[in-house]
């Protein structure tokens, strides 16, 4: 090959590479979108997010799942909080294991009322085993938890997201067809900044925000019945207004709730109507 021919080939290669680069933004919306298996169909995928951990994100996921079931819908929960899963315990299914069928398909665990659940805790040998997985493995698990699970035909898949704006959360936003997110927060000084991060992440990923739930918002004294705002007056409404989103509800701190979650009896013992506004808005998507 002459130097001229070599140069021509190199130029051609460079040009085609540039062309390929240019075309990228025009590709289908989620080039790395996960694809559901042919045996399942899911009408609505809803994410439950929080700016930080420990604010009750899983609890809100549990309430929504329980109430959607009570309203006659079929529901699945994808516990995407892979390194800090708490859904199985709340539903009393920690002793179940996700079963594998054939080479590839996974059969989810099932709660007492029939909610289908996948969670890392349901694949670990012991519930207390730490999950020390690096990024690529976490992504692989997430993909499998969506694509390879026999969800069947369900109305709602609730995704309990990992707290914050890390890798797994980004992948969930990018790869799952999330219809909207419920943001959970606790009433603390920095709540606005933390809620802001969640709101902005949703905006950047072009996922609509369904609304805000303030958990541990107040405490009702069991002897005098008086409502105490332990962390000072709530800014939930102001925060929601500030970001132009709906306030879906404020949940009290309730030791009975902590007990129900610990005992795994949420479906049986959860008081009704805790998040009616949230359920109404979620149901509107069906209209």
Closest distance of CB 95 from ligand ADP, Å: 19
Q: In the bound complex, what is the minimum distance in angstroms from residue 40's beta carbon to ligand ADP?
A: 26
DSSP for 159-228, please give it. Answer: EEPPSSS-HHHHHHHHHS---EEEEEE---TTHHHHHHHHHHHHHHTT--EEEEEE-S--EE-TTT--EE
Distance CA 210, CA 282 (A): 8
Contact 116, 93 (CB under 8 A): no
The two tokens of residue 104 are 């590839």
Q: CA nearest 61: which of 97, 92, 91? A: 91
Closest CB to ligand ADP among residues 136, 255: 255
Residue 216 interacts, among Mg ion, ligand ADP, none and using kind-specific CB cut-offs from 5 to 8 Å, with ligand ADP
Using the minimum distance from each CB to ligand ADP, give the nearer residue, 111 or 215: 215
Minimum CB–partner distance for residue 169 and ligand ADP (Å): 13
CB of 50 or CB of 120, closer to ligand ADP: 50
- Name the residue number minimizing CB distance to Mg ion: 58
Residues 6 or more apart in contact with residue 217 via CB below 8 angstroms: 186, 187, 229, 234, 236, 250, 251, 252, 253
Residue 212 CB, nearest approach to ligand ADP (Å): 14
147 or 254: CB nearest ligand ADP: 254
Among 40, 50, 58, 217, binds Mg ion (CB under 5 A): 58
Q: Which of 66, 74, 86, 175 binds Mg ion (CB under 5 A)?
A: 86
Binding site for ligand ADP (CB under 6 A): 50, 53-59, 86, 215-216, 251, 253-254, 257-258, 261
User: What region, left, alpha or beta, does residue 57 occupy, with left being phi > 0 and alpha being psi -120 to 50 degrees?
Assistant: alpha
Please provide the distance, in angstroms rounded to a whole number, between the alpha carbons at the two ends of the chain: 67
Nearer to ligand ADP, 40 or 86 (CB): 86
- H or E element, residue 155: strand 153-160
Segment interacting with Mg ion (CB under 5 A) among 77-85, 164-172, 217-225, 235-243: 77-85
The residues that touch Mg ion, with contacts defined as CB under 5 A, are 58, 81, 86
């Amino acid at each position: 090959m002459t130097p001229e021919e070599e140069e021509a080939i190199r130029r051609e290669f460079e040009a085609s590479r540039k062309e390929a680069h240019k075309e990228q933004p025009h590709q289908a919306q989620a080039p790395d979108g996960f694809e559901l298996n042919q045996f399942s169909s899911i009408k609505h995928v809803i994410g439950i997010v929080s700016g930080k951990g420990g604010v009750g994100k899983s609890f809100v996921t549990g309430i929504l799942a329980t109430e959607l079931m009570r309203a006659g819908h079929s529901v699945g929960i994808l516990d995407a909080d892979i390194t800090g899963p708490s859904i199985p315990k709340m539903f009393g299914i920690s002793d179940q294991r996700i079963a594998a069928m054939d080479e590839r398909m996974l059969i989810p665990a099932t709660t007492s009322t029939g909610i289908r659940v996948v969670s890392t805790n349901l694949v670990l040998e012991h519930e207390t085993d730490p999950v020390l997985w690096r990024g690529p493995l976490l992504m692989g698990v997430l993909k499998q938890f969506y694509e390879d699970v026999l969800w069947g035909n369900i109305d709602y898949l609730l995704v309990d997201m990992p707290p914050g704006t890390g890798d797994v959360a980004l992948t969930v936003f990018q790869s799952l067809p999330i219809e909207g997110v419920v943001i959970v927060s606790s009433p603390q000084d920095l709540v606005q900044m933390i809620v802001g991060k969640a709101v902005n992440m949703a905006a950047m990923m072009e996922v609509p925000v369904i609304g805000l739930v303030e958990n541990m918002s107040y405490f009702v004294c069991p002897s005098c019945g008086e409502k105490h705002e332990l962390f000072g007056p709530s800014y939930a409404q102001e925060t929601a207004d500030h970001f132009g989103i709906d306030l879906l509800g404020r949940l009290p701190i309730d030791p009975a709730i902590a007990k129900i979650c610990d005992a795994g009896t949420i479906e049986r013992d959860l008081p009704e109507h805790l998040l009616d506004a949230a359920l109404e808005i979620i149901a509107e998507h069906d209209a």
